[in-house]
Amino acid sequence: MKKLLKLGLVLSLGLTLTGCGSGNSEETITQQSQTIESLEKENKELTKTVSSLEKSVNSYKKEKQAETKESKEAETAKKKQAEEDKAKAEAKKAEEEKAKADAKKAEEERIAAEQAEMAKKAEEERIAAEQAEAQRKAEETRVAQEAAAQQQAAAEAQAQQTAQPAQGESVYVTPTGSKYHTHKCGNGTYTPATLEEAQARGLTPCSKCY
């Protein structure tokens, strides 16, 4: 910008000088000197203007630079924020996934515990059924044994009864003995009697005769 202004100044100066013809009078020289002075003045003013403009431009550049810096900083801050947000979002996601995994694990453990409890109950029921069955069998065995014992007792009673003399039969008794006999059994005075008479006296059958 400064260069352009200077070039323009030099050109206009040259044109002024050549355009004035070749008059050699003192008046003309004075006029030219005045023109040069005026041009120099103008040049100074222009230089000032240029300097002021340059200052403006510099300040504008600085401003612009500051703005650029600010915008860069803002961009950096934005990027940082975005990264932070992303990191936060990822952390949140990871947390959510962990919570999900935890819940799944807890559910699996609950199911496992439930199954274990069911298996335990089934085993307990099986054992109880086994014990009931064993008890039932023991009871059956006891009843069967009891029945057999009763049967045996009945059979024994039957056998004893069979061995006993029939009603109306004649037996032999002694005056002092406590038994009755089928015949004169050993020493003593045996007299015949009916079974009813002997039993009425409280006599029992002799083990040798019956």
Q: How far apart are CA 199 and CA 193, in angstroms?
A: 10
The minimum distance between CB 167 and Zn ion, in angstroms, equals 19
**SS3 of 166, please?**
coil
The minimum distance between CB 169 and Zn ion, in angstroms, equals 14
Q: Please, which residues bridge with residue 173 across strands?
A: 191
* 160-199 residues near Zn ion, rule: CB under 5 A: 181, 185
Q: Please, which residues bridge with residue 172 across strands?
A: 181, 192
CB-wise, 21 or 202, nearer to Zn ion?
A: 202
Position of minimal CB gap to Zn ion: 185
Check binding of 206 to Zn ion (CB under 5 A): yes
Q: Answer for the pair 172, 191: CB distance below 8 angstroms, yes or no.
A: yes
CB-wise, 121 or 184, nearer to Zn ion?
A: 184
CB-wise, 193 or 209, nearer to Zn ion?
A: 209
The minimum distance between CB 151 and Zn ion, in angstroms, equals 31
Please name the residue ranges forming H helices in the chain: 2-18, 26-163, 195-200
CB-wise, 46 or 165, nearer to Zn ion?
A: 165
The minimum distance between CB 203 and Zn ion, in angstroms, equals 11
CA-CA-CA-CA dihedral for 106, 110, 112, 113, to nearest 10 = 130
Whole-number Cα distances in Å, 39 to 11, 20, 61, 113: 12, 15, 31, 107
Q: Which stretch binds Zn ion (CB under 5 A): 90-98, 102-110, 139-147, 200-208?
A: 200-208
Closest CA to 22 of 13, 33, 37, 32: 32
The minimum distance between CB 175 and Zn ion, in angstroms, equals 15
The minimum distance between CB 188 and Zn ion, in angstroms, equals 10
**Contacting residues for 111 by C-beta, under 8 A, at least 6 apart:** none
Check binding of 36 to Zn ion (CB under 5 A): no
Please tell me the count of residues contacting Zn ion according to CB under 5 A: 5
Task: Quote the DSSP letter at residue 179.
Answer: E
Check binding of 209 to Zn ion (CB under 5 A): yes
Instruction: Match 């995994």 to its residue by tokens.
Output: 101
Binding site for Zn ion (CB under 5 A): 181, 185, 206, 208-209
